[in-house]
Amino acid sequence: MAQAVATKPQPTRRSVKSMYPTWFYIPAGVLYVVLFAIPTFASFYFAFTRWSLQDVEFTGLQNFITFFSEPQLRTGFTNTFIYGFVTSGLKVVFGLALALLLTGQLMARGYLRSVVFFPVLVSAIGVGITFKVLMDPFDGLINSSLEAIGITGPAWLTDPQWALYSVALIDVWKGVGIATLIYIAGLAAIPQEYYEAAKVDGAGGWKNFWHITLPLVRPATATVVLLSLIGGLRSFDLIWATTRGGPGFTSDVIASVIYKQYQAGFYGLSTAGNVVLFIVVTAIVVPVSYFLNRREVER
Stretch of 60-68, 108-116, 152-160, 199-207 contacting other proteins, by CB under 8 A: 108-116
CB of 180 to other proteins, least distance (A): 10
Name residues whose C-beta falls within 8 Å of residue 160's C-beta, 6 or more positions apart in sequence: 247, 248, 250
3-state SS, residue 115: helix
CB of 239 to other proteins, least distance (A): 11
Q: Is 239 in the site for other proteins (CB under 8 A)?
A: no
Q: Is 73 in the site for other proteins (CB under 8 A)?
A: no
Q: Is 220 in the site for other proteins (CB under 8 A)?
A: yes
Q: Which of residues 40-69 bind other proteins (CB under 8 A)?
A: 40, 42-43, 46, 51, 53
CB of 259 to other proteins, least distance (A): 8
CB of 255 to other proteins, least distance (A): 7
Phi and psi torsions of 51, nearest 5°: -135, 135
Q: Is 39 in the site for other proteins (CB under 8 A)?
A: yes
Q: Which is nearer to other proteins, 163 or 229 (CB)?
A: 229
Q: Is 4 in the site for other proteins (CB under 8 A)?
A: no
Distance CA 153, CA 165 (A): 14
Q: Is 212 in the site for other proteins (CB under 8 A)?
A: no
How many residues bind other proteins (CB under 8 A)? The answer is 96
Stretch of 66-74, 120-128, 203-211, 245-253 contacting other proteins, by CB under 8 A: 120-128
Which residue type sits at 67?
F
Rg, C-alpha atoms of the chain: 25
Q: Is 27 in the site for other proteins (CB under 8 A)?
A: yes
Instruction: List, as one string, the DSSP characters of 78-110.
Output: HHHHHHHHHHHHHHHHHHHHHHHHHHSS-TTHH
- Which is nearest to 239 in space by CA: 258, 255, 227? 255
Bridge partner list, 51? 56
If phi over 0 gives left and psi between -120 and 50 gives alpha, with beta otherwise, what is residue 58? beta
CA 105, 108, 114, 118 torsion: positive or negative?
negative
Q: Is 136 in the site for other proteins (CB under 8 A)?
A: yes
